[in-house]
DNA sequence: TACCATTCTGACCCATGTTGTCAGGTATCA
DNA sequence: TGATACCTGACAACATGGGTCAGAATGGTA
């Protein structure tokens, strides 16, 4: 029962973008270095976030990424779903279960999915960036599971 | 963001045990056949559930498994945690994050974990069994992701 | 126009986890 | 004593996740 590192990296990168001054784009490599994220991997994530309309990109020299909307209009739910697909805690969901009426387990998974969506939807990127800057002045280096 | 088939199978098997008459033990193979669960795999799950104190087993002829407690005293949370380990949605949880104060992402994962635990804790095995018998009279055959 | 910075895309690799299977051991009852 | 059924550990096949790499496309800048 866990989210992948994609969500972790994505949230960190977007918090980074939120604190970037003005609307000037930030290069992926710059974010990657600051946050300790593998650069090539981060590019993939940013591409997904762009396709989801969360981020906009400008190519060429002095290009990079910037938020497509205000940070208070972006929720953690959007980010996670953009990076991991829809929140579906099990294979046997109501409409995919072999049984017509669904089985009792399906109602459990539906409730869990709703709870997760509610929890994630309660966080805006603006709040996260605020929390972050309150947590520390030093550069953020939350580096989960780096293989040495 | 999903639970594995272990939880699915475990819930189905325990619902099956709940509706078993009296306290007489039910053989694992019997449950497996009725629910369409691979027998040897189910044995592993039942062993985990026994170690978690959710189920008690009696060996030998006419042996089998039965609930260790009343069905209203067993929650879906217990079952899922027994089969999949603790609900930890990400690697970077408060106490495991490299940063001392934790990063902003950690608070998100903590909230999500709490929401999932609450949702799962809201379901008792008794309610699930009741839901199930209300859903159908026919034998339950919720068979997720059978290969062919 | 030529060059460079940067995004973009797809293919690929490796480690790990999931979903089982199998063989044999052990306890209990008839 | 034999049949039944749990118990345990090893193992195999497959899917997924995490990450790398090469190269193409695009747009600023000199």
| CATH fit for domain A5-86+124-137, picks 1.20.1250.20, 1.10.150.130, 1.10.10.10, 3.10.20.30 | 1.10.10.10
Provide the pLDDT for residue B134.
80
**How many angstroms separate the Cα of A86 from the Cα of each of A35, A58, A89, B34, B117?**
26, 27, 9, 32, 20
Q: Where are the domains of chain A?
A: 5-86+124-137
Nucleic acid strand C within 7 Å of A1 CB? no
Nearest-angstrom CA–CA distance, A35 and A29: 10
Contact of B97 with B103, CB cutoff 8 Å:
yes
pLDDT in tens, A3-17: 889 999 999 999 999
Q: Do A142 and B15 touch (CB under 8 A)?
A: no
For residue B24, the distance in angstroms to the closest alpha carbon of chain A comes to 24
Provide the pLDDT for residue A32.
95
Nucleic acid strand C within 7 Å of B47 CB? no
Q: What is the pTM of this model?
A: 0.88
Would the pLDDT of A97 be above 80?
Answer: no
Provide the pLDDT for residue B100.
43
Which has the minimum average pLDDT: A29-38, A130-139, B17-26?
A130-139
Give the SS3 label for residue B56: strand
For residue A102, the distance in angstroms to the closest alpha carbon of chain B comes to 8
Segment B16-27 mean pLDDT: 89
User: Counting beta carbons within 10 angstroms of the beta carbon of residue B79, is it exposed (0 to 12), middle (13 to 18) or buried (19 or more)?
Assistant: buried
Provide the pLDDT for residue A103.
77
Which nucleotides of strand C lie under 7 Å from a protein CB? 4-10, 17-23, 26-30
pLDDT category, A92, cuts 50, 70, 90?
A: low
Would the pLDDT of B49 be above 50?
Answer: yes
pLDDT category, A104, cuts 50, 70, 90?
A: confident
Identify which of A2, A88, A92 has the shortest CB distance to residue B90: A2
Q: Which of A137, A122, A88 is nearest to B101 (CA)?
A: A137
A16 → chain B, closest CA residue: B104
Q: Do B8 and A97 touch (CB under 8 A)?
A: no
Q: Which of B63, B68, B53 is nearest to B25 (CA)?
A: B63
Would the pLDDT of A112 be above 80?
Answer: yes
Between A23 and A114, where is the model more confident?
A114
Q: Which residues of A touch B97 (CB under 8 A)?
A: 142, 144
pLDDT in tens, B61-115: 999 999 999 999 999 999 999 999 999 877 655 455 554 445 788 889 999 999 9
Nearest-angstrom CA–CA distance, B57 and B15: 16
SS (H, E, C) A93-122: CCCCCCCCCCCHHHHHHHHHHHHHHHHHHC
- Could you give the dihedral angle defined by the CA atoms of residues A18, A84, B111 and B105, in that order, rounded to the nearest 10 degrees? -40
Both structure tokens of B29: 């193979």
């Amino acid at each position: 029962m866990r989210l992948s590192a994609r969500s972790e990296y994505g949230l960190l990168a977007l918090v980074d973008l939120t604190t970037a001054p003005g609307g000037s784009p930030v290069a992926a490599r710059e974010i990657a270095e600051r946050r300790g994220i593998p650069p090539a991997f981060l590019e993939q994530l940013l591409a997904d976030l762009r396709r989801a309309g969360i981020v906009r990109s400008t190519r060429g020299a002095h290009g990079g990424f910037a938020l497509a909307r205000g940070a208070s209009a972006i929720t953690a739910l959007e980010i996670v779903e953009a990076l991991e697909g829809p929140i579906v805690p099990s294979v046997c969901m109501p409409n995919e279960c072999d049984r017509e009426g669904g089985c009792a387990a399906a109602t459990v998974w539906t409730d869990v999915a709703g709870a997760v969506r509610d929890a994630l939807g309660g966080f805006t990127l603006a709040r996260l960036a605020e929390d972050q800057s309150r947590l520390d002045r030093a550069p953020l280096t939350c580096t989960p599971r780096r293989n040495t």
